[in-house]
Copies of this chain bind each other. A is one copy, B any other.
Amino acid sequence: MPMSDKKAQRPIMALLDILGQRWVLRIIWELRDAPLTFRALRERCDQISPTVLNQRLALLRENGLVELGDAGYQPTQSCKDLGTLLMQLSDWSKSWDRTPEKPD
Contact = CB atoms under 8 A, between A and B. Distances in A.
Given A67-B101, A96-B15, A98-B63, A46 B89 contact: no
Contacts of A23: 20
Given A62-B100, A64-B97, A85 B76 contact: no
Interface string A62-93: 11100100000000101001100100111011
Interface residues of A, number: 39
Contact of A64 (B46, B78, B99): B99
Contact of A78 (B16, B21, B97): B97
A24 B20 contact: yes
Nearest to A15: B93
Given A20-B26, A64-B100, A82-B89, 12 more contacts: A3-B46, A11-B96, A12-B29, A19-B19, A19-B20, A20-B22, A20-B23, A20-B25, A22-B22, A63-B98, A67-B100, A85-B92
Cβ-closest 6 pairs across A and B: A11-B93, A12-B90, A15-B93, A67-B101, A20-B25, A12-B93
